[in-house]
Amino acid sequence: MSGIRNLIGLVYEGVKDNRLLWLLIIGFALFPIITHFADLPFWNDVAMRIMLLGMAAMGLNLVLGYGGMVSFGHAAFIGIGAYCAGISQFYGITNGWVHLGFSIITCGFAGLVIGYLALRTSGIYFIMITLAFAQMLFFLFVSLEAFGGDDGMSIDRAEFGFIDLYDPLRLYFLIWIALVVVGMGLMFIVRSRFGVTLRAIKSNASRVEAMGLSPLRFKIVGYVISAVVCGIAGTLFASWQEYVSPDIMHWTRSGELMIIIILGGLGTLAGPLLGAIVFLLLEECLPLLLGAAAPAYAENWMILFGPFLIMVVMFGRGGLIGLLSQLQVRRNARSDHRGP
């Protein structure tokens, strides 16, 4: 009984300390109601893409934001997860739970191998090794003509028992449940002794080693967990898109994930999800604004996004989460100054 009370207490404290994350997740749960009454079903697809990219960014953030490991190859794990669904269907396996299990095992193994080799280096060498592995996997899948090669392959949506994923709302809430599970899991990991040690390694690895702990072991475990989360996002991405191609694991996708994390806030649970929301909404809206003002530049929406990102980094000091925190501090200071 006391164990259940302790678990409830941990969940309560975790949710209280990460209110923004759970407010965003609740917002995604209520969003289909808004789109239904506004008759804008297209935005449900946008929300699903935001949740999937946000989930992958949350996985990368575990090693980038909490562990200080700048990995430029995490798109490879998204691609592996997607191809686990595609290759399984190619051989007649349509069960989505099998796809997820296959993805978790494969991405975990790939993360273990890549992490074991790459994490023996640091800095620019680590970045280049992760990028090299990602590009090797990219060209491997380009060369696999049996699975579509460079053109990719069309797939059907996976079967999750009685859940018909061709009903858009059922697919939406399956992705939402996966986001809740990932968010809850990462919340426990970050607040655990493992998470505290990972942050300590980021701050001072030598001191952690002097305490008798192995930084390499903790980094590898964090890298494997991160790879698995990205793989789950990739598997669900394949069912949502009904298409798999090597483009999903190109190095530019890794860069996109890093931009999302930096925009939202490094080393925060809510940052990657908030960053994904802002990034993809700007991706949808900026071309329309440029198309209205200067039609010839409608596709070059990054012209406006670049300065926006620079301003957030310069003035936010921690992304959008840092900017919100600064605004909250100023508001509290004004309230204290005015007095009762």
pLDDT at 334 over 80: no
What is the predicted pLDDT for the residue at 250?
Answer: 85
Q: How far apart are CA 167 and CA 239, in angstroms?
A: 12
* Angstrom distance (rounded) from CA 240 to CA 159: 12
Model confidence at 333, pLDDT cuts 50, 70, 90, reads low
Confidence bin at 20 (pLDDT 50/70/90): confident
Domains, in order of start, for the chain: 2-338 (1.10.3470)
Q: What percent of the chain has pLDDT over 90?
A: 41
Read off the pLDDT of residues 32-61 as tens digits, 9 standing for 90 and up.
999 989 888 889 999 999 999 999 999 999
Whether the pLDDT of residue 13 is over 70: the answer is no
- Measured between alpha carbons, how far is 279 from 257 in angstroms, rounded to an integer? 10
Convert the pLDDT of each residue in 261-300 to its tens digit. 988 888 889 889 999 998 888 888 877 777 777 777 667 7
Instruction: Report the alpha-carbon distance of residue 85 to residue 99 in Å, rounded.
Output: 5
Residue 121 has a pLDDT of: 86
Sign of dihedral through CA atoms 16, 21, 25, 27? positive
Tokens of 19: 């209110």
Q: With 60 as the cut, is the pLDDT of residue 79 above it?
A: yes
For residue 42, what are the β-bridge partners?
Answer: none
Joined tokens for residue 38: 């506004």
Least confident window among 58-72, 130-144, 284-298: 284-298
Residue 337's pLDDT band (cuts 50, 70, 90): low
Read off the DSSP letter of residue 192.
S
Among 17-31, 201-215, 219-233, 272-286, top mean pLDDT goes to: 219-233
Contacts of 281 (CB under 8 A, 6+ apart): 46, 50
Kind and range of the H or E element at 243?
strand 243-244
| Helix residue ranges per DSSP H, the chain | 2-17, 19-38, 42-61, 75-90, 96-118, 123-143, 168-191, 193-203, 205-210, 215-241, 251-264, 270-293, 302-316, 319-338
Output the pLDDT for position 54: 93
301 CB-near residues (< 8 Å, 6+ apart): 282, 283, 286, 287, 290
3-state secondary structure 68-129: CCCCCCCHHHHHHHHHHHHHHHHCCCCEHHHHHHHHHHHHHHHHHHHHHHHCCCCHHHHHHH
Quick one: pLDDT at residue 220? 94
- Judged by DSSP in three states, 287 sits in helix
State residue 339's pLDDT score: 54
Tens digits of per-residue pLDDT, 220-240? 999 999 999 999 999 999 989
What is the identity of the amino acid at 138?
F
Q: Residue range 313-336: average pLDDT?
A: 72
Categorize the per-residue pLDDT at 109 as very low, low, confident or very high, splitting at 50, 70 and 90.
very high
Looking at the predicted structure, is the pLDDT value of residue 149 above 80? yes
